[in-house]
Amino acid sequence: NAEIRRDINQLDNRIQRAQANRAISPREAQGLRRDAREIKQTYNRYANRGLSVSEYRTLERRIATVNARLQIDRRDRDGRRG
């Protein structure tokens, strides 16, 4: 559980830093934050009864997907998602 929480917090921090450094646009940051917020909500729902292995893997996959989108958005410089 602590590892997933740390990964979610790191994701939030990376999104914030990327926007502060103007590596991503406010619009891109908004979409990425929304995705991160949805992951947090899912985590909270799962954590109430304890994370199963499949739930843990689902969260890790979703975190990795948002991290990949952040990397793509940082490189594209077009101000649009994806």
As a whole number, mean pLDDT of residues 28-44 equals 97
Residue 53's SS3 state is helix
Output the 3-class SS for the chain: CHHHHHHHHHHHHHHHHHHHCCCCCHHHHHHHHHHHHHHHHHHHHHHCCCCCHHHHHHHHHHHHHHHHHHHHHHHHCCCCCC
Can you say whether the dihedral through the CA atoms of 19, 20, 22, 23 is positive or negative? negative
As a whole number, mean pLDDT of residues 44-67 equals 96
Predicted confidence at residue 7, as pLDDT, reads 97
As a whole number, mean pLDDT of residues 11-19 equals 96
Q: What is the pTM of this model?
A: 0.88
**Mean pLDDT computed over every residue of the chain:** 92
